[in-house]
A and B are shown apart, each in its own frame.
Chain A
Amino acid sequence: MTAIEIVPSGTSGRSPGTARLLRRPTALIGIVIVLGFLLLTMSASLVAPYSPFDQDFSNTLMGPTGGHPFGTDQFGRDVLSRVIFGSRTALLSILVADGLALVLGCALGLIAGFFGEWLDSAIMRIVDVLLAFPYLLLALIIIAALGPSLLNSMIAIGLVYTPQYARLIRGQVLSVKTTEFVVAARAIGANPARIMLRHILPNSVTPILVMATLQAGTVVVETAGLSFLGMGAQPPSPDWGAVLAEGQSYFLSAWWIATFPGLAIFAVVLGFNLVGDALRDHFDPRRRTE
């Protein structure tokens, strides 16, 4: 008699999907970057060699050296320390602004695309009104109304990007809702919320994920951009955009002040983009079977 041994598929306690995700080198690079920045954010005060606000007028506009690897700015502040503390605002902007846009936009797009008729018209006209606003003008108007601050710039950016999600998901819903499985779900009497959340949303997940991934990067850049224009974080905040703006005046003679915050934005956004890209491939059933 032959004994049949049933072996659990995941002996290490890690699901095959997670293992597949971690096997992607780009995903690993992204995870390392994101974790690195999260750690840096949490341990900024321990890791940074100086306070981001300490001024040293005997060492102004000093190029990168052993004592100041990223150099110093016009007030003799250590650029490395300012870049490390600036990571906090970058990560926060993704959570607040992109999260706000994603939740509001998907809800609006789903409802408009699924129910159609007057509800679609009403929602899409609101979306059109918001989309019709010059993007930066809308952000600036909101900031002007709320007052220039980092949080307000994040809220403004979140609201500005909401219509993009709504429009994209509506386009997807219009396509998906005519497919047989949605028609079948309607025929068996499934309620609209279930159809939207269980059938339509999962089948529209790829473009949402792609957009959310790319928007996470855009949001960090735009938050820094508003600070660059003086509408976000205010001096002497070590926000990357604000540091970059200060460095612009000295760019041709002291390139390091603007260069390193820019590289920091680039790195953290790249990290989130890599992770998001890997997650997209991981969660999309069509890609899983490829």
Chain B
Amino acid sequence: MLQYVVQRFIQLIFVLVGVSVVIFLTMHVLPGDVATLLLGDRATAEQLDRLRHQLGLDQPIYSQYLRFALDALDGDFGTSLRSNHAVFEDVWTAFPVTLQLSLAALFVAVVIGVPCGVLAAVRPFSRFNDIIMTLSLFGVSMPIFWLGLMLILVFGAVLDWLPIGGLMPIGVEPPRVTGMSVIDSVLSGDWRLVLLSLRYLVLPAVTLGTIPLALIMRITRSEMLSMASHDHVRTARAKGLPEGSVIVKHVLRNALIPIVTVIGLQLGLLLSGAVLTESIFSLPGLGRLMVNAILARDYPVVQAAALLTASVFVFVNLLVDLSYAYLDPRIRYQ
């Protein structure tokens, strides 16, 4: 097992190199010219050449990549072509916003999704099962950008219960430690700020968490039902084990592989797919930063943001893989 873990960590490095190569190459074959974009159409050829030389764009592509990779190892991702800030600064400011939103959405999805899926599977012909299945179908069928607008309309505009956008009210901000408004509020020790930050997080988290919630609920129910018909479950019941023990130890545990896979995949997808939610709720997260950077061909920002998200996601995938061996002893990796 230890050997497998070490092996996967080494592979992780190769994956990250692969990601960086693909991102770098793709960003460099995009149509358009960065120098023209920065200086405008009226720039002379001489000015354009000078800027290309300054940015290293006149170097061979492998040379540009090596320079990028070596600088990245030093934590230097260059300067944003748009904001002129250090890229690391822009990404580091935006990432915690997306991370907080994704974790909150996943929290909503797992805490509600797994128990509901289990209960629906335990009573497959009940009214509860019908309600859960209907809600999960509604959840996955819902365009989240539309749901976000509806939630804003109902809970923000009509009922006036929750704020309709942003991280905190204008002018109110906890001292920045992690960049995550809720954690920073907790660290500040001011519970009024904690409640405030949580109120601002509710609508975006519910919006973003809707599809993962439905997926987790469905996959949990589906796998539980599949597993419930297996012989070992019948044997466990025949031995007179309490029903709760049969469900948790013999059905749920064996059904966990696809559930854990889906949960693991969802975190990465949430981290990178929050752009729509961030757009609707005006959150200054990584998704918005990346879209704006792509549109502006601000490739240093895109590369840095993509590498950061990729690193987190690859690590989550590794944990999902390692959990296979723990959850299902039949799976031998060595």
Contact = CB atoms under 8 A, between A and B. Distances in A.
A230 to B, nearest CB: 9
Interface string B172-183: 000000000000
A57 interface: no
B153 A255 contact: yes
A43 interface: no
A246 B237 CA distance: 58
Contact of A269 (B140, B271, B317, B330): B140
Interface in B106-133: 133
A131 B268 contact: yes
A158 B249 CA distance: 37
A121 B273 CA distance: 27
A121 B10 CA distance: 12
A171 B143 contact: no
A289 B138 CA distance: 28
A1 interface: no
Given A136-B287, A206-B222, A168 B258 contact: yes
Contact of B219 (A141, A210, A217, A266): A210
B147 to A, nearest CB: 8
B229 A175 contact: no
A290 interface: yes
Interface stretch (B12-20, B34-42, B194-202): B12-20
Main secondary structure of the interface of B (DSSP, over half): helix
Chain B interface size range:
35 or more
Given A168-B258, A229-B275, A265 B215 contact: no
Contacts of B140: 214, 217-218, 269, 273
A37 to B, nearest CB: 13
A248 B317 contact: no
A133 B152 CA distance: 30
A129 interface: yes
Given A129-B18, A129-B22, A132-B314, A244 B145 contact: yes
Interface stretch (A11-19, A81-89, A98-106, A220-228): A220-228
A262 interface: yes
A231 to B, nearest CB: 8
A144 B275 CA distance: 16
B282 interface: no
Contacts of B286: 134
B79 interface: no
B317 A131 contact: yes
Given A125-B18, A131-B265, A229-B279, A270 B138 contact: yes
A269 B141 contact: yes
Contact of B19 (A133, A265, A280): A133
B272 A137 contact: yes
B208 interface: no
Given A136-B272, A225-B276, A206 B310 contact: no
Given A132-B314, A141-B26, A217-B141, A207 B222 contact: yes
Interface string A266-290: 1101100110010010001011011
A167 to B, nearest CB: 7
Contacts of A229: 275-276, 279, 291
A167 B265 contact: yes
A164 B15 CA distance: 16
Contacts of B265: 131, 164, 167
Given A141-B302, A174-B331, A228-B276, 4 more contacts: A133-B306, A136-B275, A244-B146, A286-B226
Nearest 4 A/B pairs, CB to CB: A134-B272, A262-B146, A269-B141, A132-B310
